[in-house]
Amino acid sequence: MAACAFAVKLLSSVRGRLSSTARSAARAFACSAARAQIHTVDGSSALTGKVDRFGGVTVNLAELGFPTDISESSFRSLLQDSLLQWKAEGKVAVWLRVPITLSRCAAAASAHGFTFHHAKDDHAVLALWLGEGESRLPGFATHQIGVAGAVVDESSGKVLVVQDRNKTKNAWKFPGGLSDPGENIGATAVREVFEETGIRSEFRSLLSIRQQHNHPGAFGMSDMYIICRLGPLSYDINFCTQECLRCEWLDLAELAETGNTTPITSRVARLLLHGLERGFNEIDLTMEELPAVYSGMFYQLYHRQLSPTLKS
């Protein structure tokens, strides 16, 4: 049986002399362990995986205990049996997570129509649509999120700006950087401002969103650039000399008029001037955390503040 064959190969690394009884016991144990992940249906071996609520199955090869020297042909045969079973069960898709140490299994899967969906760190994920018609599988993430923080000192009318060291044009801009996976945009803005300037701040609101496609710095993918309004908690600048050439508290009026900045920065500066003069409630998109439909989870909703009468 294929499952036992794979498991027995795991014993080849064992050193020392075993009695025939010990070898038989070890062989039986290895086969039993393999069957926990590779089970037999109608005389053929099949991979096991986790079934999702959409009718797909996810197989993580790193959890199946395959020997690292498994051949393409052996895995191709095993996958073929598994696909026959999944189709008979009415599964609509298969997700195959392949660790880099078993990359040959990706080549074997391609013979059955699998294609790369995405890769990250030490593994790649392949996918195959089994349902009717064209594939309805979702694509992998195609955007990167950049976040900047406009730290406004309302008492002086100044805003914190930097000039990047590695830019061809030393234009004034708001400090910022890429948001980490699982990080809220407000937290990204606060973190990036501190890392670049040494200024501590707190999130107040969302000001603007820029969308750009085929972004050169995002491997040709789309880029979202979000600017948040932050309130300062400290004022003494200690900027990162590796990233920034200059860092200053600059008058908003000057930033709005200078040609030594970017179009988006000058527009947001004018927006902030409007907020200083007439109240930030006219420009802010504030954040409210609400419970998601998925149990125990929450999301952040950004919207204009409602008046007390409308809230009720």
Q: Classify strands 222-232 and 201-212 as parallel, antiparallel or unpaired.
A: antiparallel
Q: Do domains 2-129 and 143-282 have the same CATH topology?
A: no
Give me the pLDDT at residue 215, please: 77
Please check the confidence at residue 54 and state whether its pLDDT lies above 80. yes
Please check the confidence at residue 42 and state whether its pLDDT lies above 70. no
Question: How is the chain split into domains, by residue range?
Answer: 2-129, 143-282
Tell me the pLDDT of the chain averaged across its residues: 85
Q: What is the mean pLDDT of residues 246-253?
A: 96
Give me the pLDDT at residue 166, please: 72
Please check the confidence at residue 21 and state whether its pLDDT lies above 50. no
Residue 168 — pLDDT band, cuts 50, 70, 90?
low
Q: What is the mean pLDDT of residues 229-246?
A: 95
Q: Which CATH superfamily is domain 143-282 in?
A: Nucleoside Triphosphate Pyrophosphohydrolase (3.90.79.10)
Q: What percentage of the chain reaches a pLDDT higher than 90?
A: 65
Give me the pLDDT at residue 27, please: 45
Residue 310 — pLDDT band, cuts 50, 70, 90?
low
Residues ≥6 apart with Cβ < 8 Å to 65: 6, 7, 10, 33, 34, 37
Q: Which CATH superfamily is domain 2-129 in?
A: Gcn5-related N-acetyltransferase (GNAT) (3.40.630.30)
